[in-house]
């Protein structure tokens, strides 16, 4: 089975009645399809999805779906009817095997081959596995809908007081910990770093966010590297044992690993694309002529406020915006595609609080708290980040209005001193 393109070559735009293959059927891939259709594309649109589900939203998995406040189908982004409206031919349960970027040819692992005028690579990322725990039956991750449903079923099977041990106090790990605590579980979080979330938010703010766990009865252990996880595949109902490098051992009914993700780029070996912790793209999201990328695996050149960075961002808002931009870029052509220049944004819901970040600060940036206190009992505050005299980011905990007051400054590349005055002048 194959589809044949209509002959677009080089850096020329994909014709409106041409053909596009989207590899990846999650948020970024769906947004790319919508971007194409909204841009006037009327041609053939094939989407290849490895899972057996319609495209769905991942953020609710570690929160509402795991908590049981949402049925799984509520997380669906596009059902059969919506895909038909968009004219998308979705191939369920199919895995891409190889890509020939020059020929714009995708081969699947079942032997099917698809050629098209444009290719969107949106195969995302997969959870990083805990070394030594790969062979232990039942160790959980939360990345897919199936992962979430299995984890919830296991927690309900054990019942009240289920001992949940989360490895990793990043945003996913912290969300899982908060949700499980809300389900009445006894939760322990093991974090290898001395400060949780330090790479993303720095030490001061990381310590403040880590303190949320203790306030809600969750035992957070920092500087706690896991040495071994033990469980018996023949007796999957038996409790697990998790041993730290220092010898301390924890018993658990459920072990959840949340230590980051790995871009799904192995299938692109020999494709002609540059792969380096993701797929390297230009500022218009092109990895090659006629080939664009979107989502968690895309590493693009971000030029903003006089700075240039090679970024790969694993957040919902970027995936959504990037998918739309990638679809539009194919229609514009490589020479005329607009630079992808967003203000990065993410959020995380934990313990009834919403943590939001604008910008892209680094762990060593200067930090100033401009509203509330880091040790406030309600957990609410606003902190700004600066580097080289410029505003680089803003983080707020349940202060959405105050957060958004800084967005125009980030867009304009404002100074750190200007940002210090924002909330004061707004009263």
pLDDT at 369 exceeding the cut of 90: yes
11 band by pLDDT with thresholds 50, 70 and 90? confident
Tokens 């927690």 correspond to what residue? 155
416 band by pLDDT with thresholds 50, 70 and 90? very high
Q: What is the pLDDT of residue 135?
A: 82
For residue 322, which of 68, 115, 22 has the smallest C-alpha distance?
Answer: 22
Q: What is the pLDDT of residue 303?
A: 79
426 band by pLDDT with thresholds 50, 70 and 90? low
Can you tell me the distance from the alpha carbon of 101 to that of 289, in angstroms, rounded to the nearest whole number?
8
Q: Tens digits of per-residue pLDDT, 131-146?
A: 888 888 889 999 999 9
- Cβ neighbours, 10 Å, residue 215: 11
Q: Are 39 and 328 a contacting pair, CB within 8 Å?
A: yes
Q: What is the pLDDT of residue 235?
A: 59
Which residue ranges does the chain devote to CATH 3.30.390.30? Answer: 352-425
DSSP-assigned letters across all residues of 331-355: HH-TTTPPP-----EEEEEETTEEE
Q: For a pLDDT cut of 70, what percent of the chain falls above it?
A: 95
1 band by pLDDT with thresholds 50, 70 and 90? very low
Query: 129-259 has which fold?
Result: FAD/NAD(P)-binding domain (3.50.50)
Q: What is the pLDDT of residue 402?
A: 95
pLDDT at 5 exceeding the cut of 50: no
Can you tell me the distance from the alpha carbon of 267 to that of 260, in angstroms, rounded to the nearest whole number?
20
Q: Tens digits of per-residue pLDDT, 376-392?
A: 999 999 999 999 999 99
Q: What is the pLDDT of residue 14?
A: 96
119 band by pLDDT with thresholds 50, 70 and 90? very high
Can you tell me the distance from the alpha carbon of 346 to that of 296, in angstroms, rounded to the nearest whole number?
13
For residue 158, which of 95, 65, 238, 57 has the smallest C-alpha distance?
Answer: 238
Q: What is the pLDDT of residue 302?
A: 85
Q: What is the pLDDT of residue 4?
A: 43
DSSP state of 415: B
Can you tell me the distance from the alpha carbon of 271 to that of 106, in angstroms, rounded to the nearest whole number?
10
Distance of CA 49 to the CA centre of its chain: 17
* Choice between 305 and 358, residue whose per-residue pLDDT is larger: 358
Measured over the CA atoms of residue 179, residue 181, residue 187 and residue 192, the dihedral's sign is positive
Three-state DSSP at 280 gives strand
Which residue ranges does the chain devote to CATH 3.50.50.60? Answer: 19-126+262-332, 129-259
Tokens 């094939």 correspond to what residue? 46
Both tokens of 48, joined, read 């290849």
Q: What is the mean pLDDT of the chain?
A: 93
CATH superfamily placement of domain 352-425: FAD/NAD-linked reductase, C-terminal dimerisation domain (3.30.390.30)
DSSP state of 183: T
pTM summary value: 0.94
pLDDT at 8 exceeding the cut of 70: no
- Cβ neighbours, 10 Å, residue 149: 14
Q: Which CATH code for domain 19-126+262-332? A: 3.50.50.60
DSSP-assigned letters across all residues of 368-394: EEEEE-TT-TT--EEEEEEETTEEEEE
Taking residues 198-226, report their average pLDDT.
96
For residue 294, which of 18, 15, 35 has the smallest C-alpha distance?
Answer: 35
**Within 13 A of 194's CA, how many CA atoms are on the CB side?**
3
């Amino acid at each position: 089975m194959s589809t044949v393109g209509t002959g677009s070559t080089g850096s020329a735009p994909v014709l409106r009645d041409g053909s596009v293959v989207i590899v990846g059927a999650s948020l970024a891939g769906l947004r790319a399809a919508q971007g194409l259709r909204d841009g006037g594309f009327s041609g053939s649109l094939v989407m290849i999805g490895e899972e057996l589900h319609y495209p769905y939203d991942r953020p609710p998995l570690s929160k509402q779906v795991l908590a049981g406040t949402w049925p799984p189908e509520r997380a669906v982004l596009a059902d059969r009817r919506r895909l038909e409206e968009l004219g998308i031919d979705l191939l369920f349960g199919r895995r891409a095997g190889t890509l020939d970027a020059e020929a714009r040819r995708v081969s699947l692992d079942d032997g099917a081959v698809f050629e098209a005028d444009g290719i969107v690579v949106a195969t995302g990322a997969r959870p990083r596995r805990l070394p030594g725990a790969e062979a232990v039956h039942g160790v959980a991750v939360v990345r897919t809908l199936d992962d979430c449903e299995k984890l919830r079923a296991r927690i309900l099977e054990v019942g009240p007081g289920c001992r949940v041990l989360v490895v990793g106090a990043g945003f996913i790990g912290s969300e899982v910990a908060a949700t499980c605590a809300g389900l009445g579980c006894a939760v322990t979080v093991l974090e290898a770093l001395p400060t949780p979330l330090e790479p993303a938010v720095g030490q001061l703010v990381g310590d403040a966010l880590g303190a949320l766990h203790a306030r809600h009865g969750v035992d957070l252990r920092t500087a706690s590297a896991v040495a071994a996880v033990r469980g018996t595949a023949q007796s999957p109902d038996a409790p697990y044992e998790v041993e730290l490098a220092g010898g301390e051992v924890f018993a658990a009914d459920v072990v959840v690993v949340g230590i980051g993700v790995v871009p799904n780029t192995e299938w692109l070996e020999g494709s002609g694309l540059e792969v380096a912790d993701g797929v390297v793209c230009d500022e218009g999201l092109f990895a090659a002529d006629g080939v664009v990328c979107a989502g968690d695996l895309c590493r693009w050149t971000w030029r903003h406020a006089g700075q240039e960075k090679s970024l790969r961002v694993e957040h919902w808002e970027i995936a959504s915006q990037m998918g739309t931009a990638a679809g539009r870029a194919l229609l514009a052509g490589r020479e005329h595609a607009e630079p992808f220049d967003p203000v990065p944004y993410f959020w995380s819901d934990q313990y009834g609080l919403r943590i939001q970040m604008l910008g892209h600060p680094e762990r060593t940036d200067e930090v100033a708290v401009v509203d509330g206190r880091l040790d406030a009992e309600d957990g609410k505050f606003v902190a700004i980040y600066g580097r080289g005299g410029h505003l680089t980011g803003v983080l707020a905990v349940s202060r959405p209005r105050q957060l958004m007051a800084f967005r125009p400054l980030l867009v304009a590349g404002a100074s750190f001193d200007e940002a210090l005055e924002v909330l004061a002048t707004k009263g």
